[in-house]
Amino acid sequence: MLTTSPSEFLAAFLQLPLDADARTTARAAFLVAPAASELAAESARDNRYMRMEQGFDGAHALVEHAALARALNADLPVVTFPGDPATPDAMFPNNVFATAPGRSIIGRMRHPVRRREATRADIRAFFRDVLGYTETDLSQREDCVAELTGSLIIDHGRGIGYCGLSERCDLVGARAMHEAFGLRLTFCFDLAESEYHTNVVMTCLAGRAAILAADGFADPAVPRAIARAFADRVIWLTAEQKHAYAGNAITLAPNRVWMSAGAAAALTAAQRRALADWGFAVGAVALDEIEKAGGSLRCCVGEIF
């Protein structure tokens, strides 16, 4: 089922209990190393988080990225693919490549500079030939935009998707992702005009809680409905915390949420206590240089289920 109605979503949600046999976090993760010396000007047309006015140090970004891979390895195996100077946004691979159990999914990107990433034979071959995954390729579709887990937040334990519509994902793309990921329910909603990806304004914490930035949604009823679905186990972000990327987080193990050092520093003591009460430690990695490109820790991480 795919719906745009908060009330229909909540009614359907009550019929979808947690699947005891489903994984709530990934088996492994994949990254793509930074390789460009400048930011992607094309992406800045609709990514208001990019700091184009600031100089970008590619070597510093590479050091941060290596430290990220080492840190995440504490929770699961991490594979890092080499970067390509011709694809400066490739260090955010989760928008282009994603997985469901036994399947790899390739997204349909809005900007041509990002569509080039989808042609990478090595990443495709890794999923197809090494892992034996069946490929679902949305990249050649002309009728939609579908930027995978940038636009789509997934509660894997229930098979529920939360899909924000913007320049980076339309309703046709949302339906294509709903089918590609094999979801049972997808809730589609408009993001606020200034937002480009859902994963900047929402995090699903292993199906047990959520991080939400209410001002990132066009309709206030949407985050309220999502909060009800999570039994109000929600960290509500201020606009300042959202811009510090506190919403761009990920759980790669059931007991830890990862975010950038800047995002973690933006959390209040009460928010940290709430996360701890819900069983989550906070893992943090300094990503100041990478964040100039308009994404943060979650954007850097592709999940392997």
Query: In a 3-state reduction of DSSP, which class is residue 284?
Result: strand
- How high is the pLDDT of residue 55? 83
Give me the amino acid identity at 109.
M
Give the length of the chain.
Answer: 305
How far apart are the C-alpha atoms of 214 and 222, rounded to whole Å?
9
In the structure, what pLDDT confidence band is assigned to residue 54 with cuts at 50, 70 and 90? confident
- How high is the pLDDT of residue 50? 67
User: Average pLDDT, whole number, for the chain?
Assistant: 95
User: How far is C-alpha 73 from the geometric centre of its chain's CA atoms?
Assistant: 18
Long-range contacts of 216-219 (CB under 8 A, 24+ apart): 216/164, 216/191, 216/192, 216/242, 216/247, 217/164, 217/189, 217/190, 217/191, 217/192, 218/189, 218/190, 218/191, 218/192, 218/193, 219/6, 219/189, 219/190
Kindly tell me if the per-residue pLDDT of 175 is higher than 70.
yes
pLDDT in tens, 185-221: 999 999 999 999 999 999 999 999 999 999 999 999 9
Across 38-47, 51-60, 82-91, which has the greatest mean pLDDT? 82-91
Domain spans of the chain, in order of start: 2-304
pLDDT in tens, 104-156: 999 999 999 899 999 999 999 999 999 999 999 999 999 999 999 999 999 99
pLDDT in tens, 4-48: 999 999 999 998 887 778 899 999 999 999 987 677 677 766 777
The CATH number of the domain covering residues in 2-304: 3.75.10.10
Q: How many C-beta atoms surround the C-beta of residue 282 within 10 A?
A: 16
